[in-house]
């Protein structure tokens, strides 16, 4: 577009200027704050947690002190940390960045996700950490961890996101929720502390290191924590639908090698006592076999469909369970001893585990 004298119009000039400046403005929105400035801004919201645990079975040296980290969520004194830091504690104290100490109580506790919500009563307004969005995290993003490794207060380390959606089913104390993998230095005492993005927002809760390798650590995505925080705050625990079965998919190798009445689907290996599955009459396995390095407990039911939808893979089994809550019904198609039958069960609320802490 040009004016009557052949020169570019003001509208065209403005459009060209906007197009040229757009990359500059986008770059300006990137977080370029010095790491030292991020530390000064966020570290006041990071606390050291000391919990005293007692082993009643030992005649001497029964008391153990566990040191971990946490971060303040709001001015009212709610603190997020790992469940394993305070699990079984007879007393919990929190040391603030200022050096002041306060007793803390457990408000909510979830051993499955390894999260605990604490509360401290404080006479002054407390600083809080800003929560980000772990769904936006990408491999290669720079991250920062602040915590108390080996009791060294307010230590900051840096690294990158090494992987996302890491599921560690063979590691004790982990759930099947995907975690963030990082090479930022994490050590005992960091547990429960924040993993921050380059803008200083919390994108994860540091929770796990592997003893067999170096520079491999994991954090619970903050989106997972945010999803359960209301339940931890209000109910003291996370309500989960409970069916009460354990097992695995029937593999092609299993079908091909064994001359047993089998069908594709989910093999029920264990039925938990008193569970909805137990009350519905589902049967677990009793014959242990190992085939090509895979172990199976055979002789139990095989679930071939849930609510009429065939079970062809692990997600076909997990997804329907994610969509139901306590009190709702599931219609299961069960293959047993060469015959198929329909079983309906009522999903229950997972009962408290022996190591669940009650909310005060």
Q: What is the pLDDT of residues 155-175, one digit of tens each?
A: 999 999 999 988 775 544 445
Predicted local distance difference test score (pLDDT) of residue 23: 45
Going along the chain from its start, the domains and CATH numbers come out as 47-120 (2.40.10.10), 241-349 (2.30.42.10)
Return the structure tokens found at 65: 């002190």
Q: Please state the φ and ψ torsions of residue 105, each to the nearest 5 degrees.
A: -120, 155
Euclidean distance between CA atoms 295 and 235, whole angstroms: 39
Q: How confident is the model at residue 356 (pLDDT cuts 50, 70, 90)?
A: very low
- Catalytic, 84? Answer yes
Q: Cβ distance 343 to 282 under 8 Å?
A: yes
Residue 338: per-residue pLDDT: 85
332 confidence band (pLDDT: 50, 70, 90): very high
Q: How confident is the model at residue 256 (pLDDT cuts 50, 70, 90)?
A: low
Percent of the chain with pLDDT strictly greater than 70:
82
| Of 155, 174, 151, 163, residue with least CA distance to 216 | 163
- Find the catalytic residue in 191, 197, 275, 301: 191
d(CA 49, CA 189): 9
- Checking if the pLDDT of 153 tops 70, the result is yes
pTM of the entire structure?
0.74
Question: Of 13-27, 38-52, 72-86, 298-312, which range is least confident?
Answer: 13-27
For residue 299, the model assigns a pLDDT of: 87
Residue 11 has pLDDT above 70, yes or no: no
| Measured distance CA(341)–CA(45) in Å, rounded | 57
Give the length of the chain: 360
Does the annotation mark 191 as catalytic? yes
Of 296, 302, 309, the closest CA to residue 340 belongs to 302
DSSP 254: H
| Spatial contact of 241 and 326, defined as CB atoms under 8 Å apart | yes
Query: Catalytic pick from 48, 51, 84, 87?
Result: 84
Chain centroid to CA 352: 19
Per-residue 3-state assignment (H helix, E strand, C coil) for 150-161: HHCCCEEEEEEE
Tokens of 294: 């895979």
Q: Report helix, strand or coil for 119.
A: strand
What does the pLDDT read at residue 123?
83
Considering Cα of 349, then 352, then 357, then 360, what sign does the dihedral take?
A: positive
Q: Say which of 87, 97, 110, 114 is annotated catalytic.
A: 114
Identify the bridge partners of residue 45 per DSSP, sorted by sequence position: none
List all residues 6 or more positions away from 91 whose beta carbon is below 8 Å from its beta carbon.
Answer: 51, 52, 103
Q: What is the mean pLDDT of the chain?
A: 85
Strands (E), 36-125: 46-54, 63-72, 78-81, 89-95, 101-110, 115-120
360 part of the active site: no
Q: Which of the two residues, 258 and 270, has the higher pLDDT score?
A: 270
- Binned at pLDDT 50, 70 and 90, residue 250 comes out as confident
pLDDT of residue 9: 60
Residue 352's pLDDT is 62
What is the model's pLDDT at position 175?
55
Contact 262, 280 (CB under 8 A): no
Residue 8: its pLDDT value, please?
A: 56
Q: How far apart are CA 269 and CA 248, in angstroms?
A: 8
- Rounded to whole angstroms, the Cα distance separating 28 from 270 reads 56
pLDDT at 355: 43
Q: Is the pLDDT of residue 261 over 80?
A: no
Q: Kindly indicate the confidence band of residue 61, based on its pLDDT and cuts at 50, 70 and 90.
A: confident
pLDDT, tens digit, for every residue of 176-225? 678 999 999 999 999 999 999 999 999 999 997 776 767 889 999 999 99
- Tens of pLDDT, residue by residue over 117-141, are 999 988 888 999 999 999 999 999 9
Beta bridge partners, 104, equal 120
The predicted pLDDT at position 354 comes to 45
Query: What are the angstrom distances between the C-alpha of 59 and each of 46, 90, 91, 160?
Result: 36, 17, 20, 46
Check if the beta carbon of residue 331 is closer than 8 Å to that of residue 308.
yes
Cβ partners under 8 Å of residue 296, min gap 6: 248, 254, 267, 269, 285, 288, 289, 290
* 8 A C-beta contact, residue 72 and residue 122: no
Residue 28 has pLDDT above 60, yes or no: no
Place of tokens 């929190």: 94
């Amino acid at each position: 577009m040009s004016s009557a004298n052949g020169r570019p119009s003001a509208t065209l000039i403005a459009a060209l200027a906007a197009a040229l400046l757009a990359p500059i403005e986008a770059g300006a929105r990137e977080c370029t704050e010095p790491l030292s400035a991020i530390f000064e801004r966020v570290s006041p919201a990071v606390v050291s947690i000391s919990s005293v645990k007692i082993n009643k079975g030992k005649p001497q040296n029964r008391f153990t002190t566990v040191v971990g980290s946490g971060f303040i969520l709001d001015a009212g004194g709610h603190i997020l940390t790992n469940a394993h830091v305070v699990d079984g504690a007879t007393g919990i104290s929190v040391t603030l960045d200022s050096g002041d100490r306060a007793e803390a109580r457990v408000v909510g506790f979830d051993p499955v996700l390894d999260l605990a919500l604490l509360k401290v009563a404080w006479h002054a307004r407390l600083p809080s950490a800003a929560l980000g969005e772990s769904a936006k995290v990408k491999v290669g993003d720079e991250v920062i961890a602040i915590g108390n490794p080996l009791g060294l207060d307010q230590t900051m380390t840096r690294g990158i996101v090494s992987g996302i959606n890491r599921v560690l089913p063979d590691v004790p104390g982990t759930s099947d929720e995907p975690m963030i993998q990082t090479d930022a230095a994490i050590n005992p005492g960091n547990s429960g502390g924040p993993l921050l993005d380059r803008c200083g927002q919390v994108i994860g809760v540091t929770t796990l290191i592997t003893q067999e390798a170096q520079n491999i650590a994991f954090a619970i995505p903050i989106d997972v924590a945010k999803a359960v925080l209301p339940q931890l705050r209000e109910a003291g625990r996370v309500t989960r639908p409970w069916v009460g079965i354990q097992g695995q998919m029937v593999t092609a190798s299993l079908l091909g090698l064994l001359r047993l009445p089998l069908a594709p689907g989910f093999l029920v290996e264990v039925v938990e006592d008193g569970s909805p599955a137990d009350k519905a009459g589902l049967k677990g396995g009793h014959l242990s076999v190992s085939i090509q390095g895979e172990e199976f407990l055979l002789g139990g039911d095989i679930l071939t469909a849930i609510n009429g939808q065939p079970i062809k893979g692990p997600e076909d089994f997990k997804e329907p369970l994610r969509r139901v809550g306590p009190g709702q019904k599931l219609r299961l198609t069960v293959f047993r001893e060469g015959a198929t039958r329909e079983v309906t069960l009522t999903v229950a609320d997972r009962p408290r585990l022996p190591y669940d802490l009650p909310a005060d």
